[in-house]
Amino acid sequence: MKHLLVSFIVVIAALFVPNAGEAGGPPKQGRTVAPEIVAGLPRFDRAEVYSLKQKPGFAALHKQPAPDRFPVRPYDAFAEIGDRTTLDNEQSEQFVKTWERLNFERYAGAMCHYPVYGLRFYNGDELVFETTICWKCRNFYFYDEADEKYRWHGFQPNEASKSLLAYLRSVLPHPDLPENG
């Protein structure tokens, strides 16, 4: 698990570039990661993957939290959860390997952000990182504690991103997501 943590820290460190996106308020729950403290990211021992229900446009987003909703923090909104799974150690290691192959771009995609998957990483009961992923614009968000803003970051639409989508589908099939993502 130690090499999994180191790999994850390296990947996350590469993602956090200042001025990468839109602003928003601090998260309402859980702890998120700022670029300046990535090296001190607490160890995670559990990862969860959520499939998020899809409707046209932003119709799937709600303004009120609920147990069956996943936060899309930059929009101060919540997506309905379709299903969820917890990754075991082997699955977590495979996720990190797949994630590391992505070619990240600060302003990739159309920036629409219709999330289809949500991700959470925990250390014990503490939430250490959380995000949603959109495959239309191929981006995700993080919270920059230094600037108290949400930042968008994207990844290129290539074989590596197709592999990540295939991996997520293998651990948690998504009934609403078309074959082309």
Judge contact between 106 and 18, C-beta under 8 A.
Answer: no
The pLDDT tens digits of the residues spanning 77-106 come to 999 999 999 998 889 888 877 877 777 776
Instruction: Please state, rounded to an integer, the average pLDDT across all residues of the chain.
Output: 73
Query: Closest Cα to residue 133, out of 152, 149, 148?
Result: 152
The pLDDT tens digits of the residues spanning 112-122 come to 788 899 999 88
Query: Closest Cα to residue 103, out of 142, 153, 144?
Result: 153
Q: What's the predicted TM-score (pTM) here?
A: 0.74
Residue 53: CB partners within 8 Å, gap ≥ 6? Answer: 60, 79, 80, 81, 82, 176
Distance CA 58, CA 63 (A): 11
Question: Residue 21: exposed, middle, or buried by beta-carbon count in 10 A (0-12, 13-18, 19+)?
Answer: buried
Domain boundaries, the chain: 2-171
Judge contact between 135 and 181, C-beta under 8 A.
Answer: yes
> Does residue 153 carry a pLDDT above 50?
yes
The pLDDT tens digits of the residues spanning 41-62 come to 345 688 899 999 876 555 668 8
> Does residue 8 carry a pLDDT above 50?
no
Q: Any idea what the Cα angle at residue 177 is, between residues 15 and 160, rounded to 5°?
A: 35
pLDDT at residue 56, as a whole number: 58
